[in-house]
Structure 1
């Protein structure tokens, strides 16, 4: 299957992307991984992306699209892929459509993960990370350390990352609602989008996602 995975920060998209790609035996294509891989290999695309990232600006759509195009042409993606973080807006969705048409490839489904805003904020703002190199992660509500502010594993100091603060999370959600969420409606109009709740145990969300994709595959036929 060829799938796009969409969801707000804190919905568990990264976890589900890896699990679903494994279950479906397709590569997980993450824009973050693409940027890091191209920068590490010092490709021309990577050099251009690094300039943007070092300047603190978004990587332009054309660069993201070029990297995604190159990755989707790799042998392991011949029979399917799971896109995570791309497309991130309607313009990129339209560009992806053009790219796939040019390659005579059909997108099978767009899976949207849904979670109440309050839950998303609670999930992210409650994270605490160990300052040690191992960077163990805890959560004040879901996985609290035995001793407040201290890592159970190495005794290092636990802290809240700047991008995990409630203020920053709300800003990230605003960007998601404005830029990324509209692609779900874009794909719904074409009969490709399905949405599920991302609440509950990780295994349950994965099962829910696989069932939704199976129904979508059946409808597509």
Structure 2
């Protein structure tokens, strides 16, 4: 199996690149954003709780996120691995993910790939997305900047953990989508 942790601040193109990785390597994406939206749309208790944090531009607490993710990993899947998008974002989540992958999938995390994009470009991408997405957290520059700041503050330790394991790689997330995809594919090929 190939189990990828895909990193990148909000607006870095994780969703787009995850789709390209899915098609290339027959993977299943587990996006915390999708899990949150599903739970919020269906008005579940976890969804209501997640929404209260997202609307303020804050990260959702670990346990809420972990519970959603565990349920998703347990669903049968004919794929050759997973892309974890938006999780882990804390050291506690990193430990939980390692445990979930080991216990549920009898496997381990293969690689952590981080998409790197300049902050000002992220803000513009998200404001543009907010014009069409209807997402309140993409329409307010202050909330966007807070999300980006929180992302860096929370993920620095996780990046360091994966660096220590020799599993962390940065890829420039600016440029043509296909060019960025090719860089990601090359990194995944190295671990196959």
TM class, shorter-chain normalised?
0.7 to 0.9
SS of corresponding position for 1:129: helix
| Correspondence 1:166 to 2:167 | no
SS of corresponding position for 2:6: strand
Aligned to 2:116: 114
**Aligned length in residues:** 186
Larger relative contact order (C-alpha < 8 A, sep ≥ 6)? 2
RMSD: 2.7
Q: 1:95 to 1:171 in 2, by over 3 A?
A: same
Quote the Cα distance in structure 2 between the aligned partners of 1:173 and 1:77: 34
Q: How does 1:4-153 map to 2 (within 5 A)?
A: 4-38=5-39, 47-53=44-50, 55-56=52-53, 59-76=60-77, 79-103=80-104, 104-127=106-129, 129=131
Q: 1:55 to 1:67 in 2, by over 3 A?
A: closer
> What's the offset of the Cα at 1:197?
0.3
> What's the offset of the Cα at 1:127?
4.8
Larger radius of gyration: 1
| Correspondence 1:183 to 2:158 | yes
5+ residue gaps, structure 2: none
The structure with more helix, counted as a fraction of residues = 2
TM-score, length of structure 1 as denominator length: 0.73
Residue number among 176, 187, 190 corresponding to 1:212 in the alignment: 187
Q: 1:126 to 1:55 in 2, by over 3 A?
A: closer
SS of corresponding position for 2:131: strand
Quote the Cα distance in structure 1 between the aligned partners of 2:147 and 2:26: 31
Task: Report if the CA contact (8 A) 1:26-1:76 is conserved.
Answer: no
5+ residue gaps, structure 1: 136-158
> What's the offset of the Cα at 1:120?
1.9
TM-score, length of structure 2 as denominator length: 0.83
Quote the Cα distance in structure 1 between the aligned partners of 2:26 and 2:135: 35
